[in-house]
Amino acid sequence: MHIHRFTLLAPAAALLCAAAAQAATSVHDQYRADRAACASEPAESRAACIREAGAAAQAARQGGLSSSDASTYENNALARCDAFKTPEDKSDCIARMGSKATVQGSVDGGGLLRESVRTYTVEP
């Protein structure tokens, strides 16, 4: 009995094509949802919102967007502290990124403000 390679690969190719079609549909659906969300933005922000939705869709099609686990987000947050030159500034930044910091604002509102307070005791 002689089996052609194509016969063996056809089911795998069909599965791959179906997955690609589903991913493309998912990207398009997300783009449509993102564009719809832009309608609630003020007029001066709407164009930027639409550009961002398009950029996100393009990045998703190219495999540039992914859901990361919590450790990836934590590592990214801590990497931002590398910009500080002095050890004290860097440790303050790490404290702000930690769970003891007070966080105000929202991503939707344009950003988060993190505050960490350190109390010093001065000996006379």
pLDDT in tens, 12-58: 444 444 444 455 568 788 888 888 888 887 887 788 888 888 888 88
List, as one string, the DSSP characters of 106-123: ETTTTEEEEE--------
Both 39 and 77 in one domain: the answer is no
Instruction: Determine, yes or no, domain membership for 110.
Output: yes
The closest of 73, 68, 60, 62 to 31, measured between CA atoms, is: 60
Structure tokens at 38: 């832009």
pLDDT in the model for residue 24: 55
Give the domain-ending residue among 61, 86, 104: 61
* 86: pLDDT strictly greater than 90: yes
What's the CA gap between 61 and 12, in Å, rounded?
A: 21
Structure tokens at 74: 């934590």
DSSP 8-state code for residue 99: T
Looking at the 3D structure of the chain, how many domains does it have? 2
Instruction: Determine, yes or no, domain membership for 124.
Output: no
Instruction: Determine, yes or no, domain membership for 121.
Output: no
Range of the domain at 53: 5-61
